[in-house]
């Protein structure tokens, strides 16, 4: 699956990375079957995607929701490198020098996978567990995530999803609400088009 969103950019680091995640996740969590690695015919659920603080529609009425939260980079380093033809085209700069600074940002993303037991969804716990497991398998698969790498999101390191809110009947909990959290480290690489000659 080729991504058409612009590559990661230092002009809008957060926005460009989240736009890539939106396109990538929407291409899998669409309710259709997909190939993952060597396995074909894997049924992915349809999911409502949200980013940063954007709320999921309420009530969720049996939908699976995935929210992606970008955690600011822990460090950003720069070094000199030769730009690729794709980076030159994406920069919009006419005839930039080929040697430019390249930035490398080490950061992470949180994926919040949730569902409510409502309507046709009688088992939100299973829906959330299955959705989180598929997301983890997707992020671990280097062939599946290659389109992200081609656009500047590299070295994905997902951690197994953990149960964050079981709806287990504890005082004050919503018994119909389920949540799992998956953290994923990543390296964002992008050119710093700053030199004129």
Measuring CA to CA, which residue among 22, 26, 3 is closest to residue 14?
22
Measure the CA–CA gap between 117 and 121, rounded to whole angstroms. Answer: 5
- Model confidence at 154, in pLDDT bands (50, 70, 90)? very high
Tell me the three state secondary structure of residue 130: helix
Q: Can you give the pTM of this predicted structure?
A: 0.86
Measure the CA–CA gap between 148 and 25, rounded to whole angstroms. Answer: 11
Q: Which residue has the higher pLDDT, 158 or 126?
A: 158
pLDDT of residue 86: 74
Reading the block at residue 82, the tokens are 């030769």
Measure the CA–CA gap between 64 and 56, rounded to whole angstroms. Answer: 10
**Could you report the per-residue pLDDT of 9-22, keeping only the tens digit for each?**
888 899 999 999 99
- State the CB neighbour count (10 A cutoff) for residue 128: 27
Cβ neighbours for 179, distance < 8 A, ≥ 6 positions apart: 112, 113, 114, 128, 163, 164, 165
Q: What are phi and psi of 39, to 5 degrees?
A: -95, 130
């Amino acid at each position: 699956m080729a991504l058409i969103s612009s590559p990661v950019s230092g002009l809008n680091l957060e926005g460009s990375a989240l736009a890539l995640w939106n396109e990538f996740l929407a291409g899998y969590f669409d309710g259709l079957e997909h190939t993952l690695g060597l396995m074909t015919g894997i049924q992915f659920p349809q999911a409502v995607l949200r980013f940063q603080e954007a709320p999921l529609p309420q009530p969720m009425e049996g939908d699976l929701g995935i929210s992606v939260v970008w955690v600011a980079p822990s460090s950003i380093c720069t070094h000199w490198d030769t730009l690729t033809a794709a980076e030159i085209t994406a920069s919009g700069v006419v005839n930039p020098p080929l040697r430019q600074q390249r930035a490398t940002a080490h950061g992470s993303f949180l994926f919040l996978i949730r569902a409510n037991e409502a309507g046709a969804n009688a088992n939100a716990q299973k829906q959330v567990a299955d959705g989180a497991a598929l997301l983890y398998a997707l992020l671990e698969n280097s062939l599946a995530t290659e389109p992200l790498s081609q656009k500047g999101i590299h070295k994905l390191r997902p951690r197994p999803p953990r149960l964050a809110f079981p709806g287990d009947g504890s005082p004050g909990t919503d018994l119909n609400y389920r949540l799992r959290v998956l953290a994923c480290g990543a390296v964002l690489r992008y050119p710093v088009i700053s030199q004129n000659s």
